[in-house]
Chains A and B, each alone.
Chain A
Amino acid sequence: MNTNDILLAVLVLIGAPIIGCIASGIDRKITARLQGRVGPPLLQPYYDVKKLLSKDNMVVNPSQNFYVVVYLVFIVLSLLMLVFKQDFLMIIFVYTVASIALIVGGMSTGSPYARIGSSREIMAILSYEPVLILYALAIYLLTGTFKLSAVVDASSPLLVYTPLIFIAMIVVLNIKLKKSPFDYSTSHHGHQELVKGMTTEYGGPGFATIEIAHFYEYVFLTGLIFLFWASNPIIGVLLGIIAYLLIIVIDNITARVYWQWMLKLSWSVLLIISIVNIAFLYVSGVQLA
C-alpha cells in the first residue's frame, strides 16, 4: 500500500457512486425518451437518495438494516478488488456475499412479498453464478492465472478469444441489474404482483443504502464488461457503455418472464455456449499475448 494506491482507493470510493448515479439517471432519461416522455432530471437518483436519507428509519425488525450495510460494504470491497486487479475467483466469491446479504435482508423482514422476491433472486444466483465462474476460468486458461493484472497487462483483448462468454455475460449483466425481462426480484415500478420484491420493507435510510450500493454495483458490473477489452482502456470503457445502453434498450422492449424461463435459458443456452468457449480454449491452448 503506497500513496498512489490509497489515492486510487479514495478516488474509487468517491467516484464510483457519482458515475453510478449518473448512469442510473441516464437510464431513467433514456427510458422516458423511449416512452415518448421528457423524463426526470439527470440527477434524479441523487435527489432520491438525499430524500430517503432525510426520512425516518422505519423497520420491521432491528436487524434488517444490518444486511444492507453488509451488502454495501461487500459491493464496495469487490469493486476495490476489481480496481486493484486481484484474484477474479475471489472477487466473485466476495460479490456473492453481497448478493446473499441482500437476499437474507429481504427474507429477514418476513414480508410475503419480500420473500417471493428473495426466492426468485436465489434462483437468479443459480442462473448467473456458473457463468461468472466460467468467465474466471476463461481468464485463467488465457493467462495462466486468476489474477486480473495479467488481463490488464496483456496487449491483446480478451474478447477475441471469448466471444461466446461475452454474450453470456451480457445476459448476466441483465440479470444482475434486475432489468426486464429478468426484473422479477425487485421491480422498478412498484404496483405489480410482487410490489417491490426484496426491497418492499425497506424505506428511508435503509433503502438509500441499497440505492447507493446499486450505484457501486453499476460500476462493478460494467467493469466486468470492461475487462473484455482491458488492453485498450478507451475501447474497454466504450464496450462497457455500449453494453449498459444495450441493457436499457432490452429493458424497455421486453416484458417480464417467468423465473423458470430464465433458469432454462441460463442452464441450457448460456452454460452451453460458455462451456463451448472454454472447450475451445482448452483444445487450442491459446494464450493471451
Chain B
Amino acid sequence: MSLAKSPWIIHVNVNSCNGCDIEVVACLTPLYDAERFGVLNIGTPKQADIMVVTGSVNYKNVNVLKNLYNQIPDPKVVLAVGACASTGGIFHDCYNVVGGVDQVIPVDAYVPGCCPRPEAILDGVVAALSILENKKKGNIKGKEVKLKGNEVPSNA
C-alpha cells in the first residue's frame, strides 16, 4: 500500500499546446487538491513515481523523453494525458511528429481528451496507482530505453 499513498509525479511537456498542462496544474489547485491523496508535483525524475506526459512526441525531444524515463527509479508508471500524448492527436501526421508517447517509451495508462478535465486526470493517476502496486508486487522493472543519438525523421 505504501506506493499508493504517496504518488509523486513528474510532469513532462513534449510538444504540447499547453492546454493539457493547464489542466494538470489545475489538479493541484484548492478546488481539486491532489495533495489530499499525497500527490506531489516533484521536479526531478529521481524522486518521481508517475511520469505524466502531455503532447505528441517530435523528433527534437525523443531523447529528452527517453532520458527522463530512464532517470526514474523503479517501480514507475507512465501516464499519457490528452489526445496528443495518447495517439499523436491532430498533429499525428505532421512532418516532425513521431506519434503518441507509446511510440517511444512504454505507457501504462491513457487519459484521452482534448483537453481532459482535471477529474479525468486525477482518475488516471488513481488508475496508475494500482498498476504501480502490481509492478512492485511482481517486482517488474521497466526496461532501460536505449538512446540512438540525435533523432532525425527517416524521410529527411
Could you say which residues of chain B place their CB within 8 Å of the CB of A199?
47
The complex places the Cα of A58 from the Cα of B5 at a distance, in Å, of 21
A195 / chain B contacts, CB cutoff of 8 Å: 43-44
Please, which residues of chain A bring their CB within 8 A of the CB of B75? Answer: 55-56
Q: In the complex, how many angstroms separate the beta carbon of B73 from the nearest chain A beta carbon?
A: 4
Which one, A36, A52, A207, contacts B30 given CB within 8 A?
A36
Contacts of B45 in A (CB 8 A): 203
Known contacts A38-B36, A48-B38; A58 and B71 CB within 8 A of each other: yes
A39 contacts B by Cβ under 8 Å: yes
| B43 lies within 8 A of A39 (CB) | no
Instruction: Tell me whether B6 and A44 are in contact (CB under 8 A).
Output: yes
With an 8 Å Cβ cutoff, the count of chain B residues facing the other chain is: 27
A58 touching B36 by the CB < 8 A rule?
A: no
B38 touches A57 (CB 8 A): no
| Complex: A153 Cα to B35 Cα, angstroms | 45
Cβ of B33 under 8 Å from chain A: yes
Give the distance in Å from the alpha carbon of A37 to the alpha carbon of B73 in the complex: 30
Task: Verify A50–B2 contact, CB threshold 8 A.
Answer: yes
Most chain B beta-carbon contacts within 10 A, residue among A40, A56, A196: A40
Q: Does A32 contact B (CB under 8 A)?
A: yes
A200 interface residue, CB < 8 Å from B?
yes
Q: Which of B2, B3, B35, B47 contacts A39 (CB 8 A)?
A: B35
8 Å CB interface, A1-53 against B: 28, 32, 35-41, 44, 47-48, 50-52
Residue B136 at the chain A interface, CB threshold 8 Å = yes
Q: Quick one: closest A residue to B36, CB to CB?
A: A38
The 8 Å CB contact of A40, one of B38, B41, B49, is B38
Residues in chain B within 8 A of chain A (CB atoms): 2-3, 5-6, 8, 11, 30, 33, 35-38, 40-49, 71, 73-75, 136
Assuming A36-B30, A191-B41, what are 19 further A-B pairs, CB within 8 angstroms? A38-B36, A39-B33, A40-B35, A44-B5, A47-B2, A48-B38, A51-B2, A51-B3, A58-B46, A192-B43, A195-B43, A196-B42, A200-B44, A201-B46, A202-B46, A203-B44, A203-B73, A204-B73, A207-B47
The 8 closest A-B pairs by CB, nearest first: A190-B43, A203-B46, A56-B73, A58-B73, A47-B5, A50-B2, A191-B43, A47-B6
